[in-house]
């Protein structure tokens, strides 16, 4: 039996070589726009023009990071459950980001999870968690996981955990029901659609670490809210969330 640490060390040592092989085998084209990519780009995945077009969320609401309307308070996080204290997203879901998410989700480009984690690390400060923290990726249903072979949120959490030096907890949150079509549902219908989709295990006795939920895209916050409610009901104290991308506000999408 090979010790677990030795396997982990071996994986770590061979990673740069595997990356080099992957870069050699992959077409020298930007995953977002398919144009030729400059050799000197940091990861060889996204051209500098697309990288520049991925716009970070700047300022905004203290709780959710969304730009606040000129009058009245933030409407994005107002309906959120109290359990979800804080949420941030790294970049807006523009055309380039959408393409990255699509490739990450359906084409198995796991190195894109590293890119997503790099972008998160650059644009989002890790929340302060005096009692420690664990990253919890939004799970897929077992059926969907079997069909897709991997969970993109898990890949992002793994890469982000290495950068934030925060462990990933994979078996705390379970998903037993899928939203039929997250992308086609109207925002109002989505909340009730995902409510009750998650089950969470209770924290160990004593002081529980804070939870940072990780997902690829934040659309209305309904999925993250439902996960936060399940975790809070199970007894986890501090819950926040971070996503790679955030859907543009409706006004920006219509403009």
The one segment of 30-38, 128-136, 162-170, 181-189 that binds Zn ion by CB under 5 A? 30-38
Among 32, 84, 87, 217, binds Zn ion (CB under 5 A): 32
CB 112 within 8 Å of CB 152: no
Q: How far apart are CA 98 and CA 109, in angstroms?
A: 14
247: part of which helix (H) or strand (E)?
none
The nearer residue to Zn ion, 96 or 216, going by C-beta atoms, is: 96
Q: Which of 180, 206, 202 is nearest to 193 (CA)?
A: 180
Among 44, 45, 47, 89, binds Zn ion (CB under 5 A): 47
Among 44, 45, 50, 135, binds Zn ion (CB under 5 A): 50
The one segment of 49-57, 163-171, 179-187, 232-240 that binds Zn ion by CB under 5 A? 49-57
The nearer residue to Zn ion, 96 or 154, going by C-beta atoms, is: 96
CA-CA distances (angstroms) from residue 143 to 139, 174, 249?
11, 12, 32
Closest approach, Cβ 43 to Zn ion, in A, equals 13
Which segments of 103-249 are extended strands (E)? 133-137, 173-175, 198-200, 210-218, 239-246
The nearer residue to Zn ion, 35 or 144, going by C-beta atoms, is: 35
- Listed in sequence order, the residues at least 6 apart from 65 whose beta carbon sits closer than 8 Å to its beta carbon are 57, 87, 88, 89, 246
First to last CA, the chain: 60
Closest approach, Cβ 32 to Zn ion, in A, equals 5
Q: How far apart are CA 22 and CA 15, in angstroms?
A: 10
Report the 10 Å Cβ neighbour count for 128: 7
Closest approach, Cβ 116 to Zn ion, in A, equals 16
Closest approach, Cβ 191 to Zn ion, in A, equals 16
The nearer residue to Zn ion, 32 or 157, going by C-beta atoms, is: 32
CB 57 within 8 Å of CB 91: yes
> In whole angstroms, how large is the CA radius of gyration of the chain?
19
Which parts of 60-119 interact with Zn ion (CB under 5 A)? 61, 63-64, 74, 76-77
Q: Is 241 in the site for Zn ion (CB under 5 A)?
A: no
Closest approach, Cβ 175 to Zn ion, in A, equals 25
Among 30, 136, 140, 197, binds Zn ion (CB under 5 A): 30
* Interface ranges with Zn ion (CB under 5 A): 30, 32-33, 47, 50, 61, 63-64, 74, 76-77
């Amino acid at each position: 039996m090979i010790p677990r640490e030795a396997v982990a060390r071996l994986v770590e040592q061979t990673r740069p070589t595997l990356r080099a092989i992957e870069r050699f085998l992959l077409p020298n084209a930007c995953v977002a726009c398919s144009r030729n990519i400059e050799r000197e780009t940091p990861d060889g995945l996204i051209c500098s023009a697309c990288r520049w077009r991925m716009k970070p969320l700047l300022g905004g609401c203290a709780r959710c990071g969304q730009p606040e309307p000129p009058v009245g308070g933030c409407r994005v996080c107002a309906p959120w459950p109290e359990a979800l204290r804080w949420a941030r997203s790294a970049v807006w879901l523009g055309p380039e980001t959408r393409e990255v998410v699509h490739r990450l989700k359906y084409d198995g480009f796991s190195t894109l999870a590293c890119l997503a984690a790099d972008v998160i690390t650059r644009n989002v400060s890790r929340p302060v968690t005096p009692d420690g923290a664990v990253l919890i990726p939004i799970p897929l249903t077992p059926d969907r996981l079997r069909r897709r072979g991997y969970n993109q949120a898990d890949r992002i959490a793994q890469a982000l955990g290495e950068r934030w030096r925060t462990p990933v907890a994979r078996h705390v949150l379970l998903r037993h029901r899928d939203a039929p079509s997250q992308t086609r549902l109207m925002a109002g219908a989505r909340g009730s659609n995902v409510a009750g989709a998650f089950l969470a295990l209770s924290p160990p006795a004593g002081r529980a670490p804070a939870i940072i939920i990780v997902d690829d895209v934040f659309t209305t916050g309904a999925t993250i809210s439902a996960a936060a409610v399940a975790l809070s009901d199970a007894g986890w104290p501090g819950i926040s969330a971070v996503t790679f991308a955030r859907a543009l506000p409706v006004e920006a999408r219509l403009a």
